[in-house]
Amino acid sequence: FSLLFAMNLRYMAADWMGGPLANCDDQTLDLVYTRKGVGRLGWICLSPPMLAGRIASQPRVRIVKCKEIEVKSIDGHFSLDGERMPMGTVRLSVLPAEDRIRIVVNRGICA
């Protein structure tokens, strides 16, 4: 179990600051992630810092600015914006002229 957010805004909900360093004007996505093996309890422990806007200071969390992100599901499923996705590849990028996020989903099985 691991956790990954691709953010271009600071808040993922009214009171959940998932991307404290994100800026919608810089044409990048902030990749906010935890290392593999955090577990469900680790995710629960990250909830209070996220509510307080301190997720970036947590030792298990890394934040990297990216122009494009490719996520490959090797085993099992993953969730994309609350929707369960099958094994495959998802590529996220910011469309620079329009400041919109482009999501490309390849539903094939990863080799």
Domain ranges of the chain: 4-106
**Span 4-106: which CATH code?**
2.60.200.40
Question: 0.75 exceeded by the pTM?
Answer: no
Give the pLDDT of residue 70: 85
Residues 6+ apart with CB under 8 A from 39: 1
Give the pLDDT of residue 1: 53
Report the chain (111 residues): mean pLDDT per 10 consecutive residues: 80 85 86 80 86 87 90 73 74 71 55 36
